[in-house]
Amino acid sequence: MLFNKAFAEHATPWQLYFQDTATPIMEGIVNLHNDLIFFLIIIAIFVLWMLIRTLMIHTRANNPVASNVTHGTAIEIVWTVTPSLILMMVAIPSFALLYSMDEMVDPVITLKIIGHQWYWSYEYSDYLANQKLNKSINYDSYMIPEEDLELGQLRLLEVDNRVLLPVRSHIRAVVTAADVLHSWAVPSLGVKIDAVPGRLNQIGMFIKREGVFYGQCSEICGVNHGFMPIVIEAVNLKNYIDWINTKSLV
């Protein structure tokens, strides 16, 4: 473990906003969220103003004679066209973000992820741990029980075997499950993908900075659903190569 808690990205008590971003995709998600909140605030203020004005004007004291007008063509056109224009403004950046999330840019590393009840298995398919047996690097990752935690480690989030990935490299994660539905999710990386038995799903990652990023299974998968965390440790390329060489010699 090359990093301690000070470099970790994880949920904190009473947290109301996103974790710090570490990938371009997560940056896009946060920026889209902020843009949508701007529109929502404007709409909420306008609707609140309309309700207050309606309550003030349409009272017996201010308007003793009720109007006979039941509808107006102009106002109906306005309140139909305006939301449509707002949706079009929102759709353009959201579609661009959705397509970029599915885009796979010449990955240099393929990480295979398998969900089990209740732990994760990881396989680095590009490297051989044993040349004679033609076996790739693979290992299981279990949550560390609370009684075995060391000082500074996070309850329900630490694992015995972290996933090491290099920064500034295009990575392809191939996700599946061995038994039931799981979901591999790491908020700081903007990753959340279902692990489906008998099916391979894939997602791309490009981690921009070093650090430790925590996630958890986000699909209710059984009694121990809350006890299969994910820990990604992003390191520089040299440390990653050294780690791969160490794993290959085991």
Q: Whole-model pTM? A: 0.84
The predicted pLDDT at position 5 comes to: 45
CATH of residue 131's domain is 2.60.40.420
Residue 50, in any domain of the structure: yes
Residue 147 and residue 221 in one domain: yes
Give Cα separations from 5 to 158, 161, 212 (angstroms). Answer: 11, 16, 8
Which pLDDT does position 118 carry in this prediction? 93
Query: How many domains are there within the chain?
Result: 2
CATH of the domain at 91: 1.10.287.90
Question: Tens-digit pLDDT profile for the chain (250 aa)?
Answer: 444 444 568 888 888 899 999 999 999 999 999 999 998 999 999 999 999 998 888 887 877 887 777 777 888 898 899 989 989 988 998 999 999 888 888 899 999 999 999 999 999 988 765 555 566 789 999 999 999 999 888 999 999 999 999 999 999 999 999 999 999 999 999 999 999 999 999 999 999 999 999 999 999 999 999 999 999 999 999 999 999 888 766 5
Whether residues 117 and 86 share a domain: the answer is: no
In terms of residue numbers, what domain contains 54?
Answer: 24-102
165, 109 in Cβ contact below 8 A?
Answer: yes
Final residue before a domain boundary, out of 68, 102, 136: 102
Structure tokens at 222: 């059984």
* pLDDT number for residue 6: 43
Kindly state whether residue 122 falls inside one of the protein's structural domains.
yes
* 120 and 243 both lie in a single domain: yes
- The verdict on 38 and 128 lying in the same domain is no
- Select from 102, 127, 144 the last residue of a domain: 102
The answer to whether position 167 is within a domain reads yes
The Cα angle at residue 114 between residues 113 and 116, in degrees rounded to 5: 145
Angle at 234 between CA 106 and CA 169, to 5 degrees: 15
What DSSP assignment string belongs to 130-179?
A: ETTTTEEEEEEE-BPPGGGPPTTPPTTT-BSSPEEEETTSEEEEEEEESS
